[in-house]
Amino acid sequence: MFPLTEENKHVAQLLLSTGTCPRCIFRFCGVDLHAPYKLSYEELLGELQKFLETEKDELILEVPNPPSKKIRLQELEVGIDGIDNLSQNGEGRVSVIEDGSTASKNSNLNVCNVCLGILQEFCEKEFIKKVCQKVEASGFEFTNLVFSVSFPPQLSVRESLFEVSVVFAHPETVEDCHFLRAVCPDCFKPAKNKQSVFTRMAVMKALNKIKEEDFRKQFPCPPNSPKAVCTVLEIECAHGAVFVAGRYNKYSRNLPQTPWIIDGERKLESSVGELISDHLLTEFKAESFNFSSSGREDVDVRTLGNGRPFAIELVNPHRVHFTSQEIKELQQKINNSSNKIQVRDLQLVTREAIGHMKEGEEEKTKTYSALIWTNKTIQRKDIEFLSDIKDLKIDQKTPLRVLHRRPLAVRTRIIHSMETCYVDEHHFRLYLKTQAGTYIKEFVHGDFGRTKPNIGSLMDVTADILELDVESVDVDWPPALDD
């Protein structure tokens, strides 16, 4: 059953006469059935022409500045100006075929003045096969996909926004958008990473601002029929990022969490993130990675106990299906590759689940052990009082050592509890349970008075920290796995 009704007839006739393709005519007439769009272009055009056949000897068409008289079919044969001028490039004029129906001359060769040929040539089986061949050759592994279409921005001028991506371009009509810049200059601002100011977003912003009467003065309505169809710039295959999470232990006091780069120069050859991610990149066949964790330790701080939660985003992975046994083997491979780190509870997670890890950065608690030095001689009794202090509030001004990358602010943190272990006259071990986000080193030495109170001020000594270990990060994520 043909999807158009009698009330669509005049609109369909006008659109066809001005160079609009059958599929665009269906869209403008509100056809939401899939079946008609699946027919070949030749079939669609034939069915449309049959639909537009009329047994009447007269037909009224709506045209820009229509003449005062009815347009007779006989007059169409000789080409009334009001109709001929609908096709500005002289092609696809409305004519009458012998049985009385109207159609475009060589319409199967004319490029649609709305979709610029995208819904003509690129909806045929030959092009679909080309896309499928590209996908098969890409080597990606997937269970479902998102197919998107990137249209030239000038399509937004010729019709309302329609997005479904294969990247198309249409050089012939690239200047269609240029008049918008003169009318709405604020919408078209240069950007470093954009080759042109005429992005889809900028064009749509301008179209939303421009008045309809100004638009009609600047741009022909209906649009002119172009001579060439759109070109395909590229057919790309990509997979959405996948996320791997776990907990890591760091046993080295000479290993940063992420690449340590100062003034453009790398200081150490590796990092926690790289030691883990290098193996993931290989197995997942991913292009790159982004490493994140629940807090971070300094390069000279170890992370012990159950480790620190981390998550790695793997960008554009070609392989995404792994059994639990394969993930276990991957974890073992990481652990066998270095004595500086170990990982546990390695697993695939969702993007949303990473939010649980980030919650712990400020809301949870962490436990540390530190080796403290004092300038004065101390006895056991000099440190025992620290164990009696509970929920001590301290004010920490942004430490000098991180001021280059953190804004200047005063942050209130809580030292929930402390335990001490005497070592000798100038050393003792301090075990602390603190609010996440506490700067432990500064709590010990005071950072020239920027952290108050501190161990030095509480003991009335000059104190410094020689070693620091993270004993636990109390974030219940990711879920623990059986060995």
Q: Which residues are bridge partners to 435 per DSSP?
A: 365
Tell me the β-bridge partners of 451: 396
Instruction: State the DSSP H helix or E strand holding residue 349, giving kind and residue range, or none if neither.
Output: strand 341-349
Q: 370, 445 in Cβ contact below 8 A? A: no
Question: Which residues, in sequence order, are bridge partners of residue 434?
Answer: 366, 415
| 62-to-48, 251, 470 alpha-carbon distances in Å | 18, 80, 78
CB atoms within 10 A of CB 272: 27
Closest CA to 382 of 280, 305, 460, 447: 460
- Cβ 195 vs Cβ 233: under 8 Å: no
Which residues touch 163 (CB under 8 Å, ≥6 apart)? 148, 149, 151
How many CB atoms are closer than 10 A to CB 312?
25
269 CB burial (10 A radius; 0-12, 13-18, 19+): exposed
Distance CA 432, CA 439 (A): 12
Cβ density class 458-475: b for 16+ within 10 Å, e for less: bbebebbbeebbbbbbeb
Separation of alpha carbons 413 and 391, rounded Å:
9
Q: Which residues are catalytic?
A: 298
The whole-angstrom separation of Cα 342 and Cα 332 is: 9
